Amino acid sequence: MIRSTVAGSLRPVVLDGATITLEQVGSVALHSAPVVISAEAMREVHRCRHMVEQLVEAGEIVYGVTTGFGKFSDVSISPADAALLQVNLIRSHACAVGAPLPIPVVRALMMLRANALAKGHSGIRPETVQLLVNCLNRGVHPVVPEQGSLGASGDLAPLSHLALVLMGEGEAFYNGERMSGEEALIRAGLEPIQLQAKEGLALINGTQVMTAVGALTLIKAQRLGKIADVIAAMTVECLHGITEAYAEQLHRVRPYPEQIGVAQNMRTLLHGSHLTTKQGEIRVQDAYSLRCLPQVHGAVRQTVAYAQDKIAIEMNAATDNPLLFVEEDLVLSGGNFHGEPIAFAMDLLKIGMSELANIAERRTERLVNPALSEGLPAFLSRQQGMASGMMIPQYVSASLVSENKVLSHPASVDSIPSSANQEDHVSMGTTSARHAAQVVNNTAKVLAIELICAAEAAEFRGPADLAPATKVLYDKVREVVAPLLQDRSISSEIEAVAKELCEGVWLSAVENVSGELY
């Protein structure tokens, strides 16, 4: 579980349908902060539910309430069958496949679905959304298979598995044990609900799976973007890098804020180093993987910022269909469930994070290649020929960046029609988000390998000569990875370092010395 670096993270998070932040999603998903629905939001839920009941009583034709779904939208359903229609919807749609989504992702999607319902446009009963919140607070986590969403009409299949548990069906995790949804509710002291008109549709017609995966992926990506600067700074030191490449004047005349910010980070992080060099002292200019750090890392931050902007909107959006507008006395069928904005955002994010890994792997190569490493021993080995040192970790890094290139193919450019061509264009946004999560996890391991190699190179240069900021990171990695005095398997150490990089605690330790990084 990713630890919090935010004080007071266990304070209740109030859902009002409009103001949820990425930090709050992390607090609930990763640290089990409790959730409550605001009184005003619950009043809006009441009002909207009353409107649904009036429509059913009047026999109005409303998609998914008194009609079938998808291509069956032209089939009328009698008011007497409105409740059964919702139960059938959930049971038929709960056919997702694959491994269960991680519990933090499930917690995030539960929170985000409750927040969307709290906007008061979905027509769900207050007691149903309250049960969803109670499950979240008491640790009843539905088993939600990760595959099966087209990313339009929402995340129908995976979200149906969430709804099954509220009905006392399906499966859930409770206290670390997988069991029936009914048993999980009983153990948590909760009772299942019987879905009424519109409620099944309200629970599953939305983009919360792709948004939940995207939000938690984005939290990691933000942390990795910053710590990558610190790792890169240590590599620059160990390769006697030239600091003029980060001069303020140079970046001022190409005024991308992100590039300027990374250059400032590099100047801050390298301040006080006894290992860096000046232009012409050893060579006139460095290779691109060192010299172009601000340009590349800065551009990566642009992709992260774009994704953050779109996730922030989607977390507070009403994305089901139809939507009810009580003040205007309107029921409108539309397409807010279409995941294209998140699909694009996640595809862009995974491209950016792939590039962060690509350039990190190139720096790792320079650390281990005796033709490029400014006098460091080949593969950072203390027993040349007898011990391979850091030769194969660079292979692993190369493998991971190549895998990222495959995963970075944009899922959003694909579409396949469904529901007899009624739903003839889809976003594949959930696939984009899942692939982005894999790319970010791979990138964490690539950065971990660079950091382990940089720390090993620092052993030969002299750790005392590192800048104060990078020395903090060196000390942190040495708590997990001992110097490689002789060959050993370091698989578990790479994984452990990657986990620490994602959690952000090491980054906080560096910023305690350097000040907050851009």
Please state the pTM of the whole predicted model.
Answer: 0.94
Which DSSP string corresponds to 370-400? TTTSTTPPGGG-SSBTTB-TTHHHHHHHHHH
In 330-382, which residue ranges form alpha helices assigned H by DSSP? 340-368
174 is catalytic: no
Q: Which of 415, 473, 60 is nearest to 229 (CA)?
A: 473
SS3 assignment for 180-243: EHHHHHHHCCCCCCCCCCCHHHHHHCCCHHHHHHHHHHHHHHHHHHHHHHHHHHHHHHHCCCEH
Q: Which of 246, 264, 275 is nearest to 467 (CA)?
A: 275
The domain 13-206 is placed in CATH, from the list 1.10.3470.10, 1.10.275.10, 2.60.40.10, 3.40.640.10, at 1.10.275.10
Q: Which segments of the chain belong to CATH 1.10.275.10?
A: 13-206
pLDDT in the model for residue 4:
34
pLDDT in the model for residue 67:
81
pLDDT in the model for residue 142:
98
Do 49 and 124 touch, CB atoms closer than 8 A? yes
* Catalytic residue, candidates 63, 174, 246, 474: 63
pLDDT in the model for residue 476:
98
pLDDT in the model for residue 63:
81
Amino acid identity for residue 457 in this structure = A
How far is CA 322 from each of CA 25, 267, 327, rounded to the nearest angstrom?
A: 26, 53, 16
Do 240 and 287 touch, CB atoms closer than 8 A? no
Interior CA angle at 432 toward 414 and 396, to 5°? Answer: 115
Do 427 and 152 touch, CB atoms closer than 8 A? yes
Do 259 and 216 touch, CB atoms closer than 8 A? no
pLDDT in the model for residue 2:
35
Q: Which segments of the chain belong to CATH 1.20.200.10?
A: 217-413+437-514
C-alpha–C-alpha distance, residues 243 and 249, integer Å: 13
C-alpha–C-alpha distance, residues 322 and 55, integer Å: 13
Residues in the chain, pLDDT under 50: 1-9
- The structure tokens listed for 337 are 């469930």
C-alpha–C-alpha distance, residues 419 and 415, integer Å: 13
Residues 6 or more apart from 1 whose CB is under 8 A from it? 30, 31, 104
Is 217-413+437-514 a CATH 1.20.200.10 domain? yes
Do 95 and 148 touch, CB atoms closer than 8 A? yes
Q: State the number of CA atoms in the 13 A half-sphere of 68 facing the CB.
A: 10
C-alpha–C-alpha distance, residues 141 and 171, integer Å: 9
Amino acid identity for residue 138 in this structure = R
